[in-house]
Amino acid sequence: MKRILSGIQPSGALHLGNYLGMMRPAIELAKQGEAFYFIADLHALTTLHDAEALRRYSYNVALDFLACGLDPEKTCLFRQSAIPKVPLLTWILSTVTPMGLLERCHSYKDKTARGFASSHALFAYPVLMAADILIYDSDIVPVGKDQKQHLEVTRDIAIKMNETFGSIFKLPEASIREDAALVPGTDGAKMSKSYGNTIEIFDTEKSMRKKIMAMVTDSTPVEAPKNPDTSSIYNLYRLFASEGEAAEMAKKFRTGGTGYGAFKKQLFSTVWEYFEPMRKKRAELESAPDYVETILRRSAEKANTLAESVMARVEKAVGLRS
């Protein structure tokens, strides 16, 4: 059976891009193997220095995943920081990671360009991510397209370790859903917490409607034909609607006679209805914090057992254990 692993940073409320690019495919994939999904709180610390917010966001990611259909009986869901061997493996991997490999990574450059303070942790972020992946002997890693480079770095580091110390790690593969690789935000650019263009999964009805109705469009008049393929309204809609419904909207775009406002209303009601059962589930979970903590603790125990066994092999290979 394939081992599937992924993580998501608790650096804010999760949005439709996170859901379509990572959560939905990860929850689907979990049905086909043994899955380990974690809340990347150590990664979030690279950009978030507010203890109360980090605690709240971490817990909310757990609620969101469970509400969106992750089955806690079959899948492990835990906090990254609950696995103490991860930082040890990060250090070991760092000792074979060439500086040039990290210097080529986009995420450090992007984040410092967006105003985040440059730090050793932000620069070494991909090494921590490699440790996350390699410590569970992972086969498949479902992520959005923006994480592709980090998977390549992980494989490079694993190869370097194997060359240096003998065969220790298997090489993981990224699993990227091309249809939801880059979900557009309300301004048409990639939806991202850092761009302020997000639509949160569990937003209030009023606020979600407002964000969708304010989506940026061009000034094509109501009666004129429009191109669905370049429209973020259509590109979001098709990811939630059935094939038939998506084809119908595409046809209306091309025919003309329908304004963007009407398409936005249709997008809002489809998205709002899509998440209705998940909102119910989330409300139930919110009133059962002990249940959620039990899942996180139980999953961490299982993840730790696996991490310990892989680390016994690693520590022996590098000479930290006999």
Task: Name the residues annotated as catalytic.
Answer: 111, 190, 193
- Phi and psi of 39, rounded to 5°? -95, 110
Assess contact for 154 and 190: CB atoms under 8 A: no
- Considering only 125-133, 143-151, 157-165, 167-175, which stretch makes contact with ligand ADP by CB under 6 A? 143-151
Residues 6+ positions from 193 with CB-CB distance below 8 Å: 11, 12, 13, 15
- Considering only 16-24, 165-173, 233-241, 246-254, which stretch makes contact with ligand ADP by CB under 6 A? 16-24
Interaction between residue 146 and ligand ADP (CB under 6 A): yes
Assess contact for 54 and 60: CB atoms under 8 A: no
Nearer to ligand TRP, 133 or 208 (CB): 133
**Torsional class of 12: left (φ above 0), alpha (ψ -120 to 50), beta (otherwise):** left
Which amino acid type is present at position 80? Q
Q: Which residues bind ligand TRP (CB under 6 A)?
A: 5-9, 40, 43, 129, 132-133, 141, 143, 147, 150
Minimum gap (Å) between residue 15 Cβ and ligand ADP? 6
Minimum gap (Å) between residue 19 Cβ and ligand ADP? 8
- Phi and psi of 169, rounded to 5°? -115, 145
DSSP string across 69-116: T--TTTSEEEEGGG-THHHHHHHHHHTT--HHHHHT-HHHHHHHHTTP
- CA dist 319 to 92, 93, 129, 138, 313, Å? 11, 14, 23, 23, 10
Minimum gap (Å) between residue 73 Cβ and ligand TRP? 22
Q: Which does 155 bind (CB under 5 to 8 A by kind): ligand ADP, ligand TRP, none?
A: none
What is the number of alpha carbons within 13 Å of residue 281 lying toward its C-beta?
16
Which amino acid type is present at position 268? F
Interaction between residue 190 and ligand ADP (CB under 6 A): yes
Minimum gap (Å) between residue 248 Cβ and ligand TRP? 34
Binders of ligand ADP: how many residues, by CB under 6 A? 18
Minimum gap (Å) between residue 94 Cβ and ligand TRP? 15
Q: Which does 190 bind (CB under 5 to 8 A by kind): ligand ADP, ligand TRP, none?
A: ligand ADP
Q: Which residues bind ligand ADP (CB under 6 A)?
A: 8-9, 17-18, 21-22, 143-144, 146-147, 180, 182-183, 190-194
